[in-house]
Structure 1
Amino acid sequence: MKICKLNLILLLWCCSSFLYAQEVDPGTANLFVQDELKLIASDFSFTEGCSPDKEGNVFFTDQPNDKIWKYSTAGKLSVFLDKSGRANGTYFDPKGNLVACADINGELWAIKPNGKIKVLLADFEGKQFNGPNDLWINTKGEIYFTDPYYKRDYWTRTAGDLSSNDVYYLPKGAKQARRVADGMIRPNGIVGTADGKSLYVADIGAGKTYRYSIESNGDLVGKQFLMEYGSDGMTLDEKGNIYLTARNGVLIFNDKGQMIARIKVPHGPSNLCFSGRDKDVLFITAREAIYTLPMKVKGIE
């Protein structure tokens, strides 16, 4: 009887040790040095939608304050645009315009370097979008964006015109978008590969991330479940690793969906991108703060 009890104790200890081992921080995967994470500023309301221009300067939004900020490669902060349409996600198009998800009226805006605004998209088949949230633009200038419904306190409407939260595609120069992915609870973070062949979409409502293949006509096919995590924002590095934002930091996965590293961030991250002249500095928006982290790998933006 004593032997059986001893064996049971050993079994329980081994099982608990195994479970604990699965929860151990995966480390850095030789991609960064945790102690080099740097707080740049922490006096915002809610930072989001960061994107680098060709020089490596970062533009990011502070949605509650209705502003788009610029963080230069020289380390200087300045307001790029006031009255930004409550911009959320952003991305630069091939012409150097900053395309923004203007959440106030559910539109997509193209903002020129001088701040001049052009509305690219205002509705879907005559109905207002839920609230374009995040976007990715390929080298051809074609746009993919997520459209989840999040009730804003600055909206007068109390419900969405559309009955579902989906992913849309806007061909270059087109005046109407088309729905290319549905069946999600609340799609949010989105990013595509450098070759334009694959698109990652995070369904933050379901806590899952998927990979799609992009057809020559822009359609998405071959939906593949990748990982049991959702994300507010996403980016990729040159090795194909996928960076997701989580409550306690940035989670890094390889292209097979296996977690390989975690960046600990004091404020919960909302979005991220690679910045700097060599695209080797990770820029992280994190609620009221922004951070930078030198990387041993480059981004693909």
Structure 2
Amino acid sequence: MEFTELVPDPSAVERIATGSTWAEGPCWVPATRTLRWSDIPGDRILQWHADTGDVDTYAEAVEFTNGRFLDRDGSVVQCSHGLRRVERDRDGEVTAIADGWDGGRLNSPNDVVVASDGAVWFTDPAYGITQPREGHPGVREYGDHWVFRCGPDGEALRPVVTDADEPNGLAFSPDERVLYVASSSGELPVIRAYDVDVDDVGVRVKNGREFARLGADEGIPDGIRVDVHGNVWSSSHRGIVVFDPTGERLGAVPVPEVVSNLCFGGDDGTELFCTATTSVYRIRTGTRDAVSR
């Protein structure tokens, strides 16, 4: 697939909102035709209304939420740095899904995806307990940074990826047989891929390997998404970089600010939204997210 089929005009990047301190965790909410995202240091959740173009505050004093993902029922599953948990927001009522493992608290869940079977997969680096503006000081109670999986209500929580240095963004291939994880370690920032096997025994994640790296001047991968063709879209310090399913670089979309995360949305799912430092940007694409709700 040619990059021009995916992004007809890479220069047509539109800023639709600004005023955040560090914008993160965008999620399109079809029921309200809004884009929801976090201003982590501002400890608030903002939203952009597609009908009017207006931006307002969805919630404040939210305990430093970060990444979020649309659940199968239209509610939003999100990560809380401050409460060190993954939680569900259903029409403004927020409840915990997972907040600890093996007798200790999680670090600070960062990003999350919900699989087609309702299972919740999330990354757990330590930014919320080590970065003063992103949560509360704390310690790594299980001593590492892992990717976890649990049932829709937190049941059967367990680590599934333990070899990524700083697991950050994550996304599934269209058939959910491959899990991509952005490992944002300063020493070796890379997007890793893992095979996902589901059988009578359960779910096994194995064969971890390097999938792709950003260019030397592009910083680290943070949020990632996968489109219906299996292409991986990664945030970078210079914009958005797109790789095909084999890890070959297809092209890049320059963005004026450091991109933290991204998602597809809009009424037909082909609009790409990215949070980037103080702002949110939109670009029209020729594809859509691998996950359709």
Please give the per-residue CA displacement for 1:146-174, whole angstroms capped at 9, x wherever unaligned: 11112131655343212111111112334
> 2:85 aligned with 1:107, yes or no?
yes
* AA matched with 1:39: R
Aligned length: 274
In terms of fraction of residues, the more strand-rich structure is 2
Q: What is the alpha-carbon root mean square deviation over aligned residues?
A: 1.8
Partner of 2:63: 85
Instruction: Tell me if structure 1 keeps the 8 A contact 2:97–2:152.
Output: no
Using the TM superposition, name which of 38-47 and 145-154 deviates more: 145-154
* Matching residue's letter, 2:143: S
From 10, 13, 30, give the equivalent of 1:54: 30
Give the partner amino acid of 1:300. Answer: A
- Within-5 A mapping of 1:1-301: 28-32=3-7, 33-55=9-31, 57-74=34-51, 75-113=53-91, 115-150=92-127, 151-153=130-132, 155-205=135-185, 206-216=188-198, 217-229=202-214, 230-301=220-291
Amino acid paired to 2:43: D
Cα distance change, pair 215–201 in 1 and its aligned pair in 2 (3 A): same
The answer for unaligned runs of 5 or more in structure 2 is: 215-219
Percent identical: 23
Tell me how far apart the structure 2 counterparts of residues 279 and 289 of structure 1 sit (CA, whole Å).
21
TM-score for both structures, normalised by structure 1: 0.86
The structure number with the bigger radius of gyration is: 1
Cα displacement (A) at 1:266: 0.4
Q: Output the amino acid matched with 1:91.
A: F
Residue 218 of structure 1 aligns with an amino acid whose one-letter code is V
Higher helix share: 1
Say if 2:241 and 2:253, in contact at 8 Å, map to a contact too.
Answer: yes
Unaligned runs of 5+ in 1: 1-26
**Following the alignment from structure 1 to structure 2, what is the Cα–Cα distance between the partners of residues 198 and 102?**
26
Aligned partner of 1:31: which letter? L
